[in-house]
Amino acid sequence: MPTLAELAHEHTELESDAVSHLGALVSEWGMLADFCFADMLLYLPIGNDSWLIAAQVRAATGQTLYHQDYVNTWASDSEKVLLKRCYESGEISQGEIFVQAIGGPANMLTIPVRYDGKTIAVLSREWVTDSARRAGQLESTYAEIFGKLAEMVAQGLFPFEGRIADASVAPRVGDGAIVLDAQTRVRYASPNAVSALHRVGISTNSIGQTLAELGVAESAARNAYERKEPVIEEIEQTTEVTLLTRSIPLLVASAGGTDVIGGVLLLRDVSELRRRDRLLLTKDATIREIHHRVKNNLQTISSLLRLQARRLESVEAKEAVAESVRRIRTIALVHETLSREPGEDIAFIEIVRPLLRLVEEGLQSADRPVQFAVKGDGGRMPATVATPLSVVILELLQNAVDHGFPEGSAGGSVLVTLSHDDDALYVRVLNNGIGLSPNFDFSSATGLGLSIVRTLVTTELAGTIAMRSGTKSDGDATGIAGMTDGQGTVVDLRVPITN
């Protein structure tokens, strides 16, 4: 379905500011529909006496007249008469139309939408009168409020200009409405508003009292009156009770500009929502503290293993312990990052960078100077993927140094590239050291490091891995100088990521 802006640009010559004004009206008119208990449509004047329905809204407080959407359709003949009269006169008017959907007549109130001194569209309220139902005080009060808001639309005072609070997070009319006079005294409170006040401990009759006298913070209403625009505020009545309020001033044009003649305070009790928010914050802080403690415990284990390694005399045993220490520190890196970030997802690049520094510290030496680098961004992923994948990259980096750059070699470069799409993460580990033997078969490799890699990738990560000798094009594509066919090693990983 086309948007209001698309329809306006396609069928009219309205300037962008005027279209933005209509967009602001549509973003706010759910409140208008709720106050008038009826469907509302926005009509754009098109050449040749035609009218295009550009937007439609249904009231959350009453039954709808139209069960289907009429956006991007044309006004009927009976509607055109009322729309033209309203557009040309610039006055609010009412008449009767024939509605094909119900096979009978309906009422139509037409409101000129004024912007920059001229009428740019017509807003309508369309409904069928229920003669068997008598309007109560709530309906009468809401109809009065709607009438004032309709006058503001016709005078170009609604929607409001300036800093407009996000209405999508604000209370709706059905949550509770309090009607105020120009001195913020309560003229009427809806049953839901009374219930909300009762929940915060206000049980006295509110009619005739100011918000301050009731014990409700009136700063939002005062600010709305002074600024002449809506104000959303969250009020903590007590440590256990929180009210979300939206104060809307009712304006009227005057010789000096605009005057505030009253206001509407919409309110909702959000105590339970905020309690859940606090619980989530507490849970998140607890999870991060657990990750921090796990990281500390892993570092303690690493320290104990290093102490044990000092007492060993076998070179092979020392190397095995050193490899175990690096693997443990790799897992600790994941938990350290998770302890700093909210949630259970982690930016993988924040793991890879310190992982390269860890490998540099443990494997680089003057006898084989190796430079490590990372390119790309692996996106965010759950810790259940980041932990085994970090161990895999560690083993591949260690394998690249041990087999690609033996002691006494001229050294070289190791590059890790990361990329991702909606379905998977792609990792390439590339070096320009000694290439693979022609007889090498990754699937039958028996080394501990490659066995760990193969098991983690294919089993725990459900991914794929391929290892081959490098080529000159690999070096050209990644910027590793001096690489020739058959030199170095390229390892490609694909790990599916499920959200």
pLDDT tens sequence across 154-170: 999 999 986 555 555 67
The amino acid sitting at 339 is S
Q: What span, in angstroms and rounded, lies between the C-alpha atoms of 71 and 86? A: 20
Domain boundaries, the chain: 4-154, 167-269, 271-343, 365-499
Residue with tokens 């990754």: 442
pLDDT of residue 90: 93
Q: 353, 28, 378: which is closest to 172 by C-alpha?
A: 28
Q: Report which listed range, 146-150, 333-337, 414-418, 486-490, is most confident.
A: 146-150
Angle between helices 349-363 and 315-340 (to 10 degrees): 160
Residue 365 has pLDDT above 80, yes or no: no
**What pairing do the DSSP bridges indicate for beta strands 412-420 and 370-376?**
parallel
Residue 294 has pLDDT above 80, yes or no: no
pLDDT tens for residues 10-58?
Answer: 999 999 999 999 999 999 899 999 999 999 999 999 987 899 999 999 9
Residue 340 has pLDDT above 70, yes or no: no
pLDDT tier at 71 (50, 70, 90 boundaries)? Answer: very high
For residue 119, CA distances in Å to 155, 253, 276 come to 9, 16, 47
Q: What span, in angstroms and rounded, lies between the C-alpha atoms of 430 and 435? A: 11
pLDDT of residue 20: 93
Fold: same for 167-269 and 365-499:
no
Please name the residue ranges forming H helices in 349-408: 349-363, 383-404
User: 413 or 298: whose pLDDT is higher?
Assistant: 413
Q: How many CB atoms lie within 10 A of CB 390?
A: 25
* Mean pLDDT, range 268-290, rounded to an integer: 68
Q: Contact at 8 Å (CB) between 172 and 142? A: no
- The region of weakest confidence among 7-16, 208-217, 329-338 is 329-338
User: 295 or 167: whose pLDDT is higher?
Assistant: 295
pLDDT of residue 354: 82
Residue with tokens 């500009």: 257
Which residues are within 8 A (CB) of 240 and not within 5 positions of it... i.e. 6 or more apart? 271, 275
The answer to whether domain 4-154 has CATH 1.10.10.60 is: no
Residue 267 has pLDDT above 80, yes or no: yes
pLDDT of residue 264: 94
Residue 131 has pLDDT above 90, yes or no: no
Q: What span, in angstroms and rounded, lies between the C-alpha atoms of 283 and 342? A: 10
Domain range 365-499, its CATH number among 3.30.565.10, 1.10.1200.10, 3.40.630.30, 3.40.50.720: 3.30.565.10
Tokens representing residue 256 in the block: 């000096």
The answer to whether domain 167-269 has CATH 3.30.450.20 is: yes
